[in-house]
Amino acid sequence: MTLKPLNLGKEKLDRRHQRNITEQAADAAIDTACRLLRLPTIPAEFPDTATSAANDQITYRGFLAELLMAQCDDRVRRRSQRRIKAAGSPRKKTLRSFDFDTNPNIDPAAIHTLASHEWIKKSQPPCLIGDCGTGKSHILIALGTEAAMKGYHVRYTLATKPVNELVEAADEKHLNKTIARYERVDLHCINKLSYTELDRHRAEPLFQDLTEHEENNSVAIASNESFDGRTKTFTHPHLCAATADRLTFNSTIIETGTDSYQLATTRARTEAEASQGLSDRSCDRAWEACRCHSHGTGKPHQ
């Protein structure tokens, strides 16, 4: 087989001619090249960055570095958004938006320590225990969101969904395949665990899943029932003890208390609105009194 020599001279000549292309043609070439290379941020950032580079007399290397860093930053941001969306959280919750003053039972330092997500690497997940309205779901979703932003694959779900999926998989003889699919997730955030009653038939697949993933994956849970009363959820006593052991081993247990901060917040808002309503009515009466006085009558001006 004879190899034909590459005509590099002609390619270099073509590039030299392209140096004299118009600004419009250059913009079109940049847009086409970025589409082929899948670099969507550069065409959007190029005009402003080029103008700034010319005004600030930035070197060619500096100009190129700014464009590439803008592309990298945007790609990281979009990947983070995709991971957050894939987590399946029902609503947006962040640690910054959580009001720790409304629930003194929750230690802010402990929660912000969890935000570092070292516990995911060490498989030391949090267990949030407390009554309804005490902030368990908010913190669970926020921790999952923070983990997704840091590059972890997260899956948020109510307890009933994985239990039903595992039971169905066991009945159809492909439980191992389903468990292997779960293994691709770094962090499982399971909420409302105590709302699901699990007999032996429903608890065994869940226990198998937790057992196979305890060293490679983390499971963060939120429950309104302490582990002392977990027999209401896991009706089989041995499976109850074994599952509680899997969930709590090396975990950080955070008790959120019994006082609903959601109810307290609603009451405070209602009282504030009522107070504002009284204030508005007082202002209306004062305004009417001023109008009556200005017209020299004891009645409102018609």
User: Concatenated DSSP letters for 31-64?
Assistant: HHHHHHHT--HHHHHHHHHHHHHHHHT--HHHHH
Nearest-CA neighbor of 192 among 159, 226, 162?
A: 159
Q: Which residues contact 206 (CB under 8 A, 6 or more apart)?
A: 162, 163, 166, 198, 243
How high is the pLDDT of residue 3?
43
Nearest-CA neighbor of 48 among 67, 29, 26?
A: 67
In eight-state DSSP terms, residue 198 is: B
Q: Which residues contact 75 (CB under 8 A, 6 or more apart)?
A: 41
| Alpha-carbon span 22 to 44, nearest angstrom | 19
| Alpha-carbon span 223 to 193, nearest angstrom | 5
Per-residue pLDDT tens digits of the chain, which is 302 residues long: 444 444 444 444 455 455 667 888 888 888 899 999 999 999 888 888 888 888 988 898 998 999 999 999 999 999 999 999 999 988 889 999 888 888 888 999 989 888 888 888 887 788 898 888 888 999 999 999 999 998 999 999 898 888 888 888 888 888 888 888 888 888 989 898 776 677 777 778 777 787 777 767 888 888 887 665 555 566 666 767 777 777 777 788 888 888 776 676 677 777 777 777 655 566 566 556 555 555 555 554 44
Neighbours of 290 (CB within 10 A): 10
| Alpha-carbon span 124 to 248, nearest angstrom | 9
How high is the pLDDT of residue 75?
92
How high is the pLDDT of residue 244?
72
Q: Which residues contact 119 (CB under 8 A, 6 or more apart)?
A: 125, 126, 218, 252
How high is the pLDDT of residue 1?
46
Q: Are 230 and 127 in contact (CB under 8 A)?
A: no
Domain 100-257 carries which CATH code?
3.40.50.300
pLDDT digits (tens, 9 = 90+) for 118-150: 888 887 788 898 888 888 999 999 999 999 998
Residue 38: C-alpha distances to residues 56, 92, 277 (Å) = 29, 30, 56
Euclidean distance between the first and final Cα of the chain, in Å? 106
Considering the entire predicted model, what is its pTM?
0.69
How high is the pLDDT of residue 79?
92
Element (H, E) at 190: strand 187-191
| Alpha-carbon span 238 to 223, nearest angstrom | 20
* Paired tokens of 75: 């790609």
How high is the pLDDT of residue 8?
41
* Paired tokens of 289: 């009194």
Characterize 228-240 residue by residue with b for buried, 16 or more Cβ atoms within 10 angstroms of its Cβ, and e for exposed: eebeebbebeebb
Domain boundary assignment for the chain: 100-257, 260-302
